[in-house]
Structure formats: C-alpha cells, structure tokens
Amino acid sequence: MSADDVLGSPLAFSGQRLDWRDLPRAVRSRIAELAGAQVTAEISANTGFSPGFAAVLELADGRGVFVKAVSPEQNPASPDLARAEIRVAAALPPEVPAPKMLWSDDDGEWVLLGFEVVHGRAPESPWRPADLELALDALAVLADAEPLPGHQLPSTDVTLAAEFTGWRQLHAAAPEIRREAAEQAGELGGWAWENLEQLVRWEQDSPRVSVGGALVHGDLRADNMLIDHEHAKIALVDWPHASVGAPWLDLAFMLPSVSMQGGGDPQDLFWSQPVTDGLPVDHLRAALAGMSGRLAYGSLQPAPRGIPNLRRFQRAQAEAALSWLRELA
C-alpha cells in the first residue's frame, strides 16, 4: 500500500462505528441522564480510527453534545484510551484549541464522554494551503502550552521508550518477517534494511530527544482536526495519547501524514516553523526513526478488532516518514 493509495481513500480514517440504536438501552438512558435531556437525533462522526460510538447528539431542549461511548467489546484497548482522555481533559489549559469535556462516566465496562460540539470539517485530502496554515498555527499555540498544575500526564520520553522499539523488534524478527516488511515498503524498505543497524541506534535515542515541558498531543493527523473556515478556527480532538515533552514533537510526528496526503515537503515545512529554531538535526532524526519503526512494525501486525483500515494507513505513513528520514541520513 503506497501513500498514493491511501491519499484518496474514503476509508483511510474509519473505524467500525456503532449507531445510537446499537448501544444497550441502559447506556442510552445514562447518556440522556448525563446530557440532561432526551436524544432526538444523531450525526455520526465519519473520521477517526477508534471503534465504538462517536456522534453529535441533538437533544430535546435544542442543545447538542458530542458523545463517545466505548466498551471492550468493540476493542479491548478502547476503554483505557477513553479513560486516558478523561485525565487529559482535566490537564488542558484554556489556550489550547480543544473541545471542552462536559461530563464523563465509567461503570467498569462502558466509558462515556460528552464534549461541547465543535462545528467544522476535517482537512481536505489533498491538504489545502489554507487548512495547513490553520493547522500549523494551532501547533504553534500547542508548542507554547503546558498542562495545568496537578495534571496526571506521563512524560513523553517514558511513553516513547516503551513504544518506539519497532526497528529493534524487526532487527530481532525472523527472516521471513523482515522480507515481508522490506517487500511492502519497496525501495524505501531496501534502504531501511541496508541501514537497519543505524535505524536501531537512532531509535534508541528518541526518548532522550523528546524530553521537555510542553503539552504534546502525540497523535495529530487530519482525522484529529476540525476546521471552521468561517471563523478561521481549528479544534484539535482525540487526546488519549497526550504527554509532556519537547515542543517540536507534534510538528515532526504530524508532517509525514501531511506529506502522505499531498500537503507538501515535510523538510521545508518543519524547518520553516519557529519552534524548530536551533534544533539539532540529530534530534529530528532520532524522533523520525522511532516513529517510522513503530509504524513499520505495527503495519505488519494483524488488524486490531474494530479497526480494519489501520494497518494500511500505518504502512503508508511509515513510508512517508522513512522518505523524510532518508533525507536526513
């Protein structure tokens, strides 16, 4: 699967969503109770990889609320991600462009989250310059933000030490798995295997370069943004992976997906932003090595329950990250 294949795919940002009537009656009743009014209509979210229920609910009193509802049945990891998002919501400072969490509930099986409704659309694919400008402006605000006092967010370096191990896992993998990875990545896969030892060393350095005090979203892509051009605003959504680290990380981690979806050269875009002033190239190289390894290794795994399109998207994003990384080698 190439970047071009994913670029125009309507399924690129889709998990298996539940409709309102798919939710158990007790869950629907609890949502209405938390929202403070009966539900009269739903508008399902059509982007994002997370399975479960995600929709704007219209209420009998004229208000609206964006609701997520997940249980282990949709995906075993989904409830813990929703719980993480509850913790993150309490840590977001007011200057960060993110929807406000209105309420949450957790009965041990179903985790429910209610947010203010944000009006907008995901960036178009390929990226439009106006969309990208708003996204980069939002990242500049995020780079200057710190979580609120008393937060419970992890340090990015600790998170990445556990997650950025893909090249080491592929280095230790059976030959047939390594061949499959190389074949799927084409020319870039050949370059990766020729430089695997170096990729492992760069990957090992990624936690060190990620240390910092800024709020890091950790998963910014087009499907985690809503753009309102009428009011020149953007909202960054889906925050379960947030942490505290280097202020340039979100920019570095987002740009491979932007490149993959026709948004421009990540090298030029990255170094044009003020947050990168004075950043050593080896810091960027280490972060991209860690990211690309995680994506490359993850793309070879079986599709997680309820997220059938994730692996091909990871494969295309790994290809874009590797292409950029090769420029820095």
Query: Which is more confident, 16 or 150?
Result: 150
pLDDT score of 15 more than 60: no
pLDDT score of 56 more than 60: yes
pLDDT in tens, 99-150: 999 999 999 999 999 999 998 999 998 999 999 999 999 999 999 999 999 9
pLDDT score of 170 more than 80: yes
In this prediction, residues 187-210 reach a mean pLDDT of: 91
Q: What percent of the chain has pLDDT over 70?
A: 91
Is residue 217 a contact partner of residue 142, using CB atoms and an 8 Å limit? yes
List C-alpha distances in Å: 163 to 174, 222, 248, 253. Answer: 20, 22, 18, 14
Query: What span, in angstroms and rounded, lies between the C-alpha atoms of 269 and 251?
Result: 9
Q: What value does the mean pLDDT of the chain take?
A: 90
**pTM to 2 decimal places:** 0.91
pLDDT at 232 (0 to 100): 87
Give the lowest-confidence range in 174-178, 249-253, 281-285. 174-178
Q: What are the DSSP E strand ranges found in 135-241?
A: 214-216, 225-228, 233-236
pLDDT score of 91 more than 60: yes
What residue ranges define each of the domains in the chain, with the CATH number in brackets? 15-115 (3.30.200.20), 129-328 (3.90.1200)
Q: What are the tokens at 103?
A: 């309420």
Hey, is 92 helix, strand or coil?
Answer: coil
Query: Which is more confident, 68 or 175?
Result: 68
Query: What span, in angstroms and rounded, lies between the C-alpha atoms of 246 and 136?
Result: 16
pLDDT at 4 (0 to 100): 40
Is residue 298 a contact partner of residue 279, using CB atoms and an 8 Å limit? no
Confidence of residue 267 (pLDDT cuts 50, 70, 90): very high
